Amino acid sequence: MTKTSAGNFFEDFSVGQDLVHAVPRTVSAGDVSLYTALYGMRFPVQSSTEFARRIGYADAPLDDLLVFHIVFGKTVPEVSLNAAANLGYAGMRFAAPVFPGDTLTARSTVIGLKENSNGKTGTVYVRSSGVNQTGQTVLEYVRWVMVKKRSLDGHAPEPVVPDLPEAVPAANLTVPEAFHGDGWDFDLSGELHRWGDYEPGEKIDHVDGMTIEEAEHQIAARLYQNTSKVHFNQHQEKEGRFGRRIVYGGHVISLARALSFNGLANAFRVAAVNAGSHTAPAFAGDTVYAWSEVLERIELPGRDDPGALRLRTVATKDMPCSSFPLRAADGTYEKAVLLDLDYTVLIPR
């Protein structure tokens, strides 16, 4: 009997199944530095302890997406080790901030299953959460992933597709209790734009582009302890759909978020991801660009110091975003579009 695990295939999942994920991860300043090196993140609250303390934090928190990636990485061995593609997200809520020295653990519940028409894969829906060492929830979300079947004649369960929320409501957005906007320094943050300066319907071309290197996306996945085979094993993937390793979709999300600093420098916290789709795969050598649209300006109940912006950020490959590319004439995504992300950020008023 083997002592190793080949991971779960589609036939191994059942609705209601609880998955406890190994291994606890204590995060450090080293994780933050490596994350900054990978994406060039420049948001001031996550970059400067002194800046963070002036607005009420005890320390500079981890970037919210770094928290997401670490929690996500914990779930891979049980959920997506045999994934063909990670498809999307919904109802993602960032709760308590995470600081260097905190220890994160994760667990998931299977909430939906649906075999795909090709009979080779199925879509698995899970609700995952991450908690810190005191049992406090730091993150919760739903994601769905295309998982390979063990065999073509493997069992196909009755399809269950969960109802997913359109957006995380304002009442469920977490503002750090100690936050006070009067300590915000707009000279040091990099831009003067406040919450009231953004208008629904406004589109922002983030201008810059970043080319993905093969080593970078693999280092990133290793940082998050994401063991999905499609990101690492070229010997296997040369026989796959694309003939090469696929870049972890979260890598594209973090690149887009980093690029969004140019135009959204004061968006200091990702409070929620309402919906998100990886519309095409990315590969080493692709250059990622991004643009954002302001979907909604949101008042936060009981708070008058920060407000919230609901944004749509679109990432493309090898296509600058001055024309705000999204959909072709037939309604399908432009071939260059990699990511369509609907999320909510907090920003000083």
pLDDT of 271-323, one tens digit each?
A: 999 999 999 999 999 999 999 999 999 999 999 899 999 999 999 999 999 99
Does 5 reside within a domain?
Answer: no
Mean pLDDT score of the chain, rounded to an integer? 95
pLDDT, residue 313, reads 98
pLDDT, residue 249, reads 93
- Cβ(272)–Cβ(300) below 8 Å: no
pLDDT digits (tens, 9 = 90+) for 90-115: 999 999 999 999 999 999 999 999 99
The domain total for the chain is 1
* Strands (E) located in 233-329: 269-278, 287-298, 306-317
Residue 154 has pLDDT above 80, yes or no: no
Does 311 reside within a domain?
Answer: yes
The Cα-based distances of 344 to 168, 199, 260, 275 in angstroms read 8, 14, 13, 10
Does 64 reside within a domain?
Answer: yes
Does 2 reside within a domain?
Answer: no
Residue 23 has pLDDT above 90, yes or no: yes
Residue 147 has pLDDT above 80, yes or no: yes
Cis ω on the peptide bond leading into residue 23 (within 30° of 0)?
A: yes
Local confidence band at 84 (pLDDT 50, 70, 90 cut-offs): confident
Does 118 reside within a domain?
Answer: yes
Q: CATH number of the domain that 100 lies in?
A: 3.10.129.10
pLDDT, residue 241, reads 87
Instruction: Name the residue range of residue 61's domain.
Output: 12-149+165-348
Does 157 reside within a domain?
Answer: no
Does 183 reside within a domain?
Answer: yes
Local confidence band at 155 (pLDDT 50, 70, 90 cut-offs): confident
Give every CB contact of residue 53 below 8 A, 6+ residues apart in sequence.
59
Local confidence band at 152 (pLDDT 50, 70, 90 cut-offs): confident
Local confidence band at 229 (pLDDT 50, 70, 90 cut-offs): confident
Does 188 reside within a domain?
Answer: yes
pLDDT, residue 173, reads 96
